[in-house]
Amino acid sequence: MKSTTFDRANLLCGLLFIALGAFFALQSLTLELGTAFRMGPGYFPLILACALILLGGVILLQSIRIEGEPIGHIAWRGMFFILPAPIFFGLTVRGLGFVPALFLTALIASFASGKMKPLTALVLAFCLTIFSVLVFSYGLGLPFRRFGPWLGF
């Protein structure tokens, strides 16, 4: 009898996806679902949660069939800069406005790489901000404040 080996990274990832999908599916059931033609507020989150559960199941099955590499070191620097960046944006976009909040968010996230130089990070944040303002403000015409009340505008 052949012993079964697991790809630990895919096993953990699949279980995490299934758990998160189940959590969000249960949360969406507390909202009105509606039908496919007349969707309620819980319909789309339920569909996304089911897709996440399905994806987790596929990854879980793959972890049984394929032996992978061991889990390596955790990229703490990346997590320290990438995870807080969207949280910072969400907390400051109304007060600072879209332009400064996005610029600072891109600047924070750019330092996730140890190879990023300060001048390169500034140029990257500036270009991303200009591109986003052109696309979202002028191209799509989204109604948001470019500069917020915290800055006196």
- Structure confidence by residue, pLDDT tens digits, 4-37: 677 888 889 999 999 999 999 999 999 999 888 8
Q: Is residue 2, in this structure, part of any structural domain at all?
A: no
Q: How many domains does the chain have?
A: 2
Q: Is pLDDT at 142 greater than 70 in this prediction?
A: yes
pLDDT at 1: 47
DSSP state, residue 151: G
Q: What is the mean pLDDT of residues 33-59?
A: 92
44 and 23 part of one domain: yes
Give yes or no: residues 54 and 84 share one domain: no
**Domain co-membership, 53 together with 96:** no
Tokens 């800055």: give the residue: 151
Q: Which residue has the higher pLDDT, 153 or 125?
A: 125
Q: 129: domain range? A: 76-151
Q: 94 and 49 in one domain? A: no
| Phi/psi of residue 11, nearest 5 degrees | -60, -50
Q: Is the pTM of this model over 0.75?
A: no
What is the mean predicted confidence (pLDDT) over 43-70? Answer: 88
Residue 100: pLDDT over 50: yes
